Homo-oligomer: A and B are copies of this chain.
Amino acid sequence: MLLTPDAPSVLQQLDAFRAIVGSDYVSVDPEVLAHYASDETEDLHYLPDVVLKPRTAEEISAILKICNEHRILVTPRGGGTGLSGGALPHLGGVLLSTERMNSILEIDERNGQVTTEPGVITEVLQSAVRERGLFYPPDPSSRGTCFIGGNIAENSGGPKAVKYGVVKDYVLNLEVVLPTGDIIWTGANVLKNATGYNLTQLVVGSEGTLGIVTKIVLRLIPHPRYDLLMLVPFRSAEQACAAVSAVFQAGYTPSALEFMERDALEWVMRFVDDSIVPLEEGIAAHLLIEVDGNDPDVLMKELEGIAGIVQGFDCSENIFFAEDAQQKEQLWKLRRRVGEAVKANSIYKEEDTVVPRAELPVLLQGVKAIGSKYGFHSVCYGHAGDGNLHVNIIKGDLSDEAWNGSLKEGIREIFQLVKQLGGTISGEHGIGLVQKEYLPIVFDAVQLQLMRGIKRLFDPNNILNPGKIFDSE
């Protein structure tokens, strides 16, 4: 199928779009188009032909019916914080923003559920349910600006995933507008479901290629009353990684277990101008470890137990225990803003590798060896408890030729290593536009054929976010 955009065709439908969403929410203003040309992925820019901001599922349905009839391409967009280019309109067409669909529809305390529209900011949702004593754990570092709808699209994780799971573990039911304009619910508002194929889990993580999510029912859990946090410095980054699986093998389940290489912590402390912890000589990496629960004494015992274990892995004795809410917030801010700090430092490519957690030391060693071979520097950090390591490849002094050329071979080698270790090429960022060329490293022809078949089934004319995850045949 040909994927050439058809700009005149799009522009012929402007009046029809205005009739659906109102003229205030149809824009071809170059400044507006430019605003929606990028997300947080590298330094990529692609202009859409028109930006639409519908308010309801019914409006989206009407838009998609027109686009499906006229083969107009549609790229859905949430908060625009994606790291794999899923919301980039790289083939032009309609950019459909869910920003006006930003109401929390119902917090159902009796059942521990929330029903929300997709354009609600993740942190806003978390705070709203927190006020009722409820907890929605998955929050990417971008939680202050990303949308819950985008989190569904990417099956996002975040630091709490290690104890509480990722987005897919909280989604009970979704209202979805299919590319044909049909509106469906994918499941039911229940904790257990053995009724037909799991359309809910098929849509979660499908990166806006199968439908546009317009309502979301999430399960919530009681919010834990207490948490404790410590930052542990290690003299060897590999030893820090090795400590991770030892913690779990000893029977502990921390509520966060984050890894940061020295560069990551150093850059972000400079970036946010906060040197809460001294960076000793000879320290190569840190683990940020949190425990949570309802009994402070039990938590203290757990944290001490974990501290005892990591001491077997060449860590410094200067473990930093956060003393109060402010210090916890400071440490978390450092971890959450590492990505921005790296971005501010240099052009970079971020690889979202994930392996079984005990393989982290092998992965880290491999990444560094591949970096030496191809001449690139990398800064690694991530959700070590999940085996999810963000490998940030720094452009630094690399020539444009190397950056756009041989570097890809290096990335390919990293992903081949990941595959060999039982892992895969994205843990929480998705494939989108920038990783799709590497997808055949982890999927063979049969698997890709099934996925393409599913895409065709939902989107026979290939109008919805085409060319994301994989190209159509």
Chain A interface residues (CB < 8 Å from chain B): 108-113, 133, 154-157, 161-162, 165-166, 168-169, 178, 182, 184-199, 201-202, 204-206, 210, 221-222, 245, 248-249, 251-253, 294-295, 298, 352, 354-359, 383, 386-388, 419, 422-431, 439, 442-444, 446-447, 450-451, 453-454, 457-458, 469-470
* Given the contacts A197-B202, A295-B298, A356 and B108 also touching, CB distance less than 8 Å: yes
Residue contacts A-B, CB under 8 angstroms, 21 given? A109-B249, A162-B191, A166-B192, A185-B447, A188-B354, A190-B387, A190-B424, A191-B354, A191-B386, A191-B388, A194-B428, A194-B430, A196-B431, A196-B442, A196-B443, A197-B206, A197-B469, A198-B202, A198-B204, A450-B457, A450-B458
B205, A198: Cβ atoms closer than 8 Å: yes
CA distance A387 to B111 in the complex (A): 10
Residues of B contacting A166 in the complex (Cβ-Cβ under 8 angstroms): 192
Interface secondary structure of A, over-half rule:
loop
A-B pairs, 10 with minimum CB distance: A201-B201, A110-B358, A188-B424, A189-B422, A111-B356, A192-B427, A222-B251, A453-B457, A194-B426, A195-B424
CA distance A184 to B201 in the complex (A): 19
Query: CB < 8 Å: which of B168, B252, B253, B458 contacts A201?
Result: B168
Q: Number of copies of this chain in the oligomer?
A: 2
Closest Cβ–Cβ distance, residue A246 to chain B (whole Å): 9
CA distance A305 to B298 in the complex (A): 18
CA distance A348 to B454 in the complex (A): 39
Which chain B residue has the least Cβ–Cβ distance from A427?
B192
B422, A188: Cβ atoms closer than 8 Å: yes
Which chain B residue has the least Cβ–Cβ distance from A110?
B358
Max count, chain B CB within 10 A of own CB: residue among A178, A429, A453: A453
B425, A195: Cβ atoms closer than 8 Å: yes
